[in-house]
A and B are shown apart, each in its own frame.
Chain A
């Protein structure tokens, strides 16, 4: 009897371990499967269909229902294409650049929480975070990893040994340094409002009021900054095909080009997630109605906030596409003037004003 009990206990512990390992592996598989297997391919299709809609034409509609399989066909084409390498390129960095585009893009999303602490409807013994890596530095990690994306562009431009690619790389590095400051300063305002750098705690602080209301000015700075950070129109000066052929990726083809393409969409997903978490209440239902007040049993319906979070994320991804086909590209001096002379002063002023108001509010 005694022996059987100890064996049962050891089995019991094993079960706990297996569940926690499965939970961890499940989170990783879910996030990366969703990012690389669903969001990125779907976004390519959405981009082309929305472009067609805005320009009053069809867009891809032949491969599969509504042209949904078009991306898959394109992906197969990119994979099977000959791996071209122009003769005068730097052999190491030419290959390294697309890899450096994808790795930080994937790493950044690892610190994004996608739901409140949950027991998965009673499967886990204690509530755990729906986040791959729980770091106490919070959003700073996402910023730090995001700032590394510029190396892939700079290296791609330099290694290609082509004047257009070098110009594209130069533009990208200047642009990314400039707008990183504005984005960082506007996030600092949110951190001051919420009182934490932890993204989960920032979301929890928005239960009654979303940060978009007290931090509207910060959002106005954050929005153009994330467009510039991800090199999207109206700030895609690094590729601007009218002047620079295709900018930094002129010499790339096949899957190497595909990796740059993939990284762009994954980066868009990461910054959209940041926008949702910092300003739009994360997974909370509505500005005046958090999940806790709906009367639903959140222990059994634990997946609803996560789904709602990804719905908000999808809206921001759509917003990126919408802007791309609506707003024309900026001129380079306009871009720099907007970054340094408008956005950074506004965010500095906003930070000082927010701090002052909060200090006076907390004074007895």
Chain B
């Protein structure tokens, strides 16, 4: 077995373990912390594949921005541990459904992967694959339409949030951000 394969299996095993911990830890903050570790390990997989840019973006966007918001919301809600209960809230029915769905996906991947691998162009040794330059060139030439569409969709989402947040200020019952009694 090659060294990179050993590293891959270690990372994958840890990803599965941390994902399980995200689902089964009773406290939301603990789940969030395991999820951050999970994102890091996934970034490690990207590095193994040679896509350093995607790995860094994974850490920057998911671990550095989105999860900060999650933790922020958890801190704001400040849930009482008695309200949450000590047992995990996952019921057996949903667990069985999840495992069945997951095995279906894995099975279909197992069937289709060899075919997809044949279609993939081979990566030349010493190519610039995965670097910022190569990725941005591909994004802005071959995939310009999809790239710009993603930008427009994100802009729409931002504008939607702005609209929802702005409406409240026009409410005459709200002064300086807090509602009048």
Contact = CB atoms under 8 A, between A and B. Distances in A.
B4 to A, nearest CB: 18
Nearest to A333: B177
Contacts of B76: 170
A143 interface: yes
A166 B53 contact: no
A230 B72 CA distance: 18
Contacts of B60: 140, 143-144, 147
A20 B94 CA distance: 56
Interface residues of B, number: 23
A293 to B, nearest CB: 30
Indicate the member of B52, B53, B56, B76 with the most A CB atoms within 10 Å: B56
B36 to A, nearest CB: 7
Contacts of B131: 136-137
B72 A174 contact: yes
Interface stretch (A30-38, A45-53, A148-156, A356-364): A148-156
B72 A170 contact: yes
Contacts of B64: 143-144, 147-148, 150, 180
Interface in A141-195: 141, 143-145, 147-148, 150-151, 154-155, 157-158, 166, 169-170, 173-174, 176-177, 180
In this complex, the member of A135, A138, A151, A170 whose beta carbon has the largest number of chain B beta carbons within 10 angstroms is A151
Interface in B35-54: 36, 52-53
Given A93-B29, A141-B56, A176-B68, A157 B75 contact: yes
Contacts, number: 75
B15 interface: no
A180 B65 contact: yes
Interface in B46-94: 52-53, 55-57, 59-60, 63-65, 68-69, 71-72, 75-76, 78
Contacts of B30: 93
B19 interface: no
Interface in B83-125: none
Nearest to B27: A90
B33 interface: yes
Nearest to A149: B64
Contacts of A143: 60, 64
Nearest to A174: B72
Contacts of B72: 154, 170, 173-174, 177
Given A166-B78, A170-B76, A180-B65, A136 B71 contact: no
| Chain A contact residues, majority secondary structure | helix
B75 A151 contact: no
Give the one of A137, A138, A147, A177 with max B CB within 10 A: A137
B69 A148 contact: no
B56 A151 contact: no
B132 interface: yes
Contacts of B65: 147, 177, 180
A150 B65 CA distance: 10
A343 B78 CA distance: 31
Contact of A173 (B36, B52, B71): B71
B27 to A, nearest CB: 8
A151 B71 contact: yes
Nearest to B176: A333
A197 interface: yes
Contacts of B52: 135-137
B69 A170 contact: no
The winner among B53, B72, B78 for most chain A CB atoms within 10 A is B72
Interface string B121-135: 000000000011000
Given A154-B72, A155-B33, A177-B69, A148 B63 contact: yes
A166 B71 contact: no
A151 B36 contact: yes
B148 to A, nearest CB: 16
A203 B64 CA distance: 26
16 contacts: A93-B33, A135-B52, A137-B52, A137-B55, A140-B53, A140-B60, A143-B60, A144-B57, A148-B64, A150-B68, A155-B33, A158-B29, A170-B76, A173-B71, A177-B65, A177-B68
Given A140-B132, A154-B68, A154-B75, 7 more contacts: A138-B132, A140-B53, A141-B56, A151-B33, A155-B29, A170-B72, A170-B75
The 6 A-B residue pairs with the shortest CB-CB distance, nearest first, are A147-B64, A144-B60, A144-B59, A137-B56, A173-B72, A140-B56
